[in-house]
Structure 1
């Protein structure tokens, strides 16, 4: 009896290992000119189009993905533009060989000459030096995240591929905002003010409170040593239904022991979306049409000061203010049909409006003490954060 039990345990162990065994997918991505395409995203999707694994190609354009048996979709993207897609069934290791893609239009939007590499790999993170691209020029921080390798942005949801949740930081300071408010805040930051974006898949010990989530750290530009600059700008965007105007200002100063950077940005505009969907039920069919209009006013200000008291002691101050006013309305019309009928027997009309005024003020005081030349240091932070949101959502509906 004991031998039978041990045999059953052995069989179960072998079968479980076989089911979760990791299978390798490998390949090499090159351009039409046979040049390695580095820093491309290679993403494995489930049959339900859910991203499961994300890898970046190396300097030789090579990639490796380890995953379990199943049917998937493999997609290769260069700055969020899909350049290759293939359905694959993982049974045993797959060598895709050399994959030739046309990335001419994508690479044309990248400027790297004489600067840092566009994407840097570190032990626990990937650094996207967005200041080296022109594709984000005129955009905002949320649009910058859309082209950041390893980051997925759908509507107002920000994710790191392969992570259950994500937290966003500005200059190493955590933002405690809801998804919608975070998206509104990021829309108020011009992409031109961003130096780089760090995608941290293995958070360091000081972020233990973030649990198993990934981190996105947005680093704002600072003044170069022994310099100062002032820039003023404006932009106008015309859409079919709504327009947007923006005014931006930036001041940077770095001389002697004092470093200062500040920005004030204002956007005023709107956007319109239309949706239509069909839902089939056992007794009836619903045809729903929606039109969503949103107008917004966004004011964002940042003040950052650092003073080098001694070669080993730096003290600083950062203030971030964000004020939003959003007015929206959603018109929904649902026609309800019986199956095989051309005339609806019911019509449901609803109007939802919303007036939101989210705003927050964030203040950070910090002291940084360097302990040695190896990089060890002690950082003392004092943070103040105040958030309010006046949210009104009246609803009106009729059924005829």
Structure 2
């Protein structure tokens, strides 16, 4: 059957054909972008974090007594809290920090090599005030130099993550002893995932300094035996209230929970688009089935005449399927264009990688397969029309 005759046949059913094209276009656009989002969400969730997600607890606190909001009372409160938490069976290390890893954002600052601000400046690096035990609490790995120690308290000694040191000095091994705008680098630790929306999610800089105030709260980090994580989590709030009743325990989370939250937008949108895609694909199959069945019933006389003139069942089957294939082909072309338009709009809302061409092309093949399956039964019914049916109608 020629393309011209197929187009003529489709033009006789303009409204139905247009609606089917719109449906196929939207289905392909949603399908392509849902696969892209699902793949990206999976890839993001499985990036190395450098953290022990299941054995680390974070506790977010906020003093309710104004007298505890600043030093030296704040420092004394934190030390009493840490000492009490270390006494809980199963707690191996406890430390404080102004911000925890795996947050969307937080306290950031510019970092650059001294006297090279123009060429080395990095605009958003997480700054972390902590004591030396934070390295044990987060189970960090030292690569070059040394850890911060008690002697580094209130000095300009800093420790960098490997990615940050490499960005500043070309090689992380060259960082130790170098002067940056925030102090002297004394150590480089293996990368940990700190803030997703900083200049790089693996950038982090550590000082051994006391928190100047608790105006925005603070966090305690606990490294716990994995078998005791649930038991310790249940005790944390009560222990802290016993230390100081004028303290709000806002949240107690594992790093695993924070890790899930930081990528929940992508996962949620991926699930939503996947569900919509599945529904649209099902509706497209139902529409293709209905369209082919209705068309077959309308064309019974014509099919019977063709059979009387010698057309075999295979040819009739191919003709019915060809109309579905042609409609799906046009829908696929429009759908590929719509896929890129939808990707551009989604990229304005969330961080989304470019759409590779193979993805909408692959989705087109899947769509064509589904439409073929949906059309097969109505097409096979059309082949059963006998020449006698057309003769009787005439």
The TM-score range, normalised by the shorter chain, is: under 0.3
- TM-score w.r.t. the length of structure 2 is 0.21
Normalized per residue, the structure richer in strand is: 1
Q: If you compute each CA radius of gyration, which structure gives the higher value, 1 or 2?
A: 2
Higher share of residues assigned helix: 2
